[in-house]
Structure 1
Amino acid sequence: MSPERRVLVHESKEILAAAVAARFLRKVKDLIEEFGEASVVLTGGTMGIAVLAAINSSPARDSVDWSRVNVWWGDERWLPEGDPERNETQARDALLDHVGLDPERVHPFARSDAGLDLDAAAEAYSTELQANAPRSARFPHFDITFLGMGPDGHIASLFPGMDGIRETEATVISVRNSPKPPPERLSLTLPTINSSARVWAVVAGADKASALGLTLADASIDEVPASGLEGRRSTLFFVDGDAAAEVPENLIDPGQFWTGADDIQQN
């Protein structure tokens, strides 16, 4: 059976963030009840952090046993510890420092002041992924991977026209000369991202409409990296009305943003 691919449209950025937060909390609680733990991959960006803030402010936040949640990142900016532009710093401020996570289950990328160069930091994260993977695997089982998308269609730190989007051997890459500052970054590769059971892309704003339309029209990943997204079980695009302007109507989910039955069986 082909993995599910759907677009779920919400009226505003605020409603979008709250809806994704509610879905996430319910799904993670279900995963922990069934498997004893859940593994999530976080992203940065305006909507990625807005979703984390919405999770933190949700009345259902403490229904999750956060000590059973494993946290990874899809990419990171090569900046020192505590820098406000690091995805890790923003995630900690928005959510992670407010819930009872087990520090041993939180896996940030190396900071630029940690004594490693960029390539060594990429290798270190790859090693950490493998150390937490099932036997003979190269990376852990990811239940949910969050992603944003740039107006150019980039995901994580995989940018159009750059070699990183075509990398198939490495699990983590170092990125130099990023078209978006800062120029040096670390990123999971597309095969590592697509190993996730569920890929959730949260996209908002009229400036994303063209890239989202091309993504769903299966444009070349060299031109629109987001078109390569394919979670093992499902790939869901959570979008606001502005971002959905060029989405084909047949791809838009006609119902509410989720149902419990669909979530358990499909997502």
Structure 2
Amino acid sequence: MTGTPGVLVHADGVLLARAAAARFLTRVVDAQAARGMAHVVLTGGRNGNALLRELAASPARDVVDWAHVHVWWGDERFLPSGHPERNETQARAELLDGLALNPEFVHPMPAADGPDGNDPEAAAGRYADELAVAARPETPAERGGVDVPSFDIAMFGVGPDCHVASLFPELPAVHETELTVVAVRGAPKPPPTRITLTFPAIRTAKDVWLLAAGDDKASAVRLGLGGGGPVQVPAAGAYGRRNTLWLLDRSAAAQLPPGLDRFASP
């Protein structure tokens, strides 16, 4: 990991989502000013969708040149296209359909009724190939030697069991050291079949943000920041090449390890 993770604590989940949305806009504008393009990884779930709603409502959202943003996902439920439980479906409804995005720069993970049919391993390989194509303009050093673009921001919700993306404790995906995208079978929460980025792909990101709100996340936050190993505590294995930031509300921060530096927000 590069440096010590930052911890930013907000009063509640609403303020967390609002502040994270503002931070997201600033980070994307900075990336576009530097390179003309930004690559972002979206997350689903309660906190991820709350952030997308705040982005949609923000009067500042149009400071971003959305036509020059590549949108990726950290994981996906392997369900038919348009299924309401897919992260893509929810993200489109909350934000993406209202933006002037270049459709070629929106990269949903394959669906169960896609070109690979009901074969999540083939679908994972297809997404890995798409990432590798997008990575080609960058040098290996710029992308950490991994065949994915150097994400400017990769966001992940933290589950009560410490999972991030669809990297669940002890499942085979948390042991992957070479592949960038894998299929997950037997996930402990439905649906059991998913597709996910692996740790090597996540760690190419310049900035990794971990989102957690609610008292049901407090134990996971404590474990994730307490030095646990990524096999048992996947949230501990998600970190960025430049910055890693835990964005929390007070309930999720209730069990932070003693002595951990944090920044409090009203």
TM-score > 0.5, shorter chain as reference? yes
After superposition, the C-alpha distances for 1:17-55 in whole angstroms (9 at most, x for unaligned) are: 000001111111121122101100011100001101100
SS in 1 for 2:15: helix
Q: What's 2:89 paired with?
A: 89
Q: What's 1:42 paired with?
A: 42
SS in 1 for 2:259: helix
CA distance in 2, matches of 1:143, 1:121: 24
CA distance in 1, matches of 2:78, 2:162: 21
CA distance in 2, matches of 1:188, 1:66: 23
CA distance in 2, matches of 1:254, 1:154: 24
* 2:179 is the counterpart of 1:160: no
Map of 1:141-180 to 2, 5 A cutoff? 141-180=150-189
Q: TM-score, normalised by structure 2?
A: 0.93
After superposition, the C-alpha distances for 1:245-266 in whole angstroms (9 at most, x for unaligned) are: 1113533433559xxxxxxxxx
After superposition, the C-alpha distances for 1:156-213 in whole angstroms (9 at most, x for unaligned) are: 0000011111100111000101101001000000111011000001101111111110
Map of 1:1-267 to 2, 5 A cutoff? 2-116=2-116, 117-133=119-135, 134=138, 137-254=146-263, 256=265
Letter in 2 for 1:51: L
Give, in angstroms, the shift of residue 115 of structure 1: 3.5
Letter in 2 for 1:223: Q
Letter in 1 for 2:171: M
| Cα RMSD after superposing both structures | 1.5
Count of matched residue positions in the alignment of Structure 1 and Structure 2? 257
CA distance in 2, matches of 1:135, 1:27: 22
CA distance in 2, matches of 1:47, 1:194: 21
Give, in angstroms, the shift of residue 6 of structure 1: 0.8
Q: What's 2:143 paired with?
A: none
Give, in angstroms, the shift of residue 135 of structure 1: 5.1
Q: TM-score, normalised by structure 1?
A: 0.93
* 8 A Cα contact 1:42 1:147, kept in partner: yes
Task: Give the percent of matched residue pairs that are identical in Structure 1 and Structure 2.
Answer: 50
Structure 2 runs not aligned, ≥5 long: 141-145
CA distance in 2, matches of 1:256, 1:11: 7
SS in 2 for 1:213: helix
CA distance in 1, matches of 2:75, 2:261: 28
* 8 A Cα contact 1:4 1:233, kept in partner: no
CA distance in 2, matches of 1:140, 1:2: 19
Letter in 2 for 1:158: L
CA distance in 2, matches of 1:17, 1:176: 31
* 8 A Cα contact 1:44 1:90, kept in partner: yes
SS in 1 for 2:6: strand
CA distance in 2, matches of 1:71, 1:146: 12
CA distance in 2, matches of 1:176, 1:132: 27
CA distance in 1, matches of 2:13, 2:139: 41
Give, in angstroms, the shift of residue 69 of structure 1: 0.5
CA distance in 2, matches of 1:41, 1:2: 19
CA distance in 2, matches of 1:7, 1:135: 31
SS in 2 for 1:244: coil
Higher helix share: 1
SS in 2 for 1:201: strand
CA distance in 1, matches of 2:158, 2:264: 24
CA distance in 2, matches of 1:62, 1:89: 22
Letter in 1 for 2:112: S
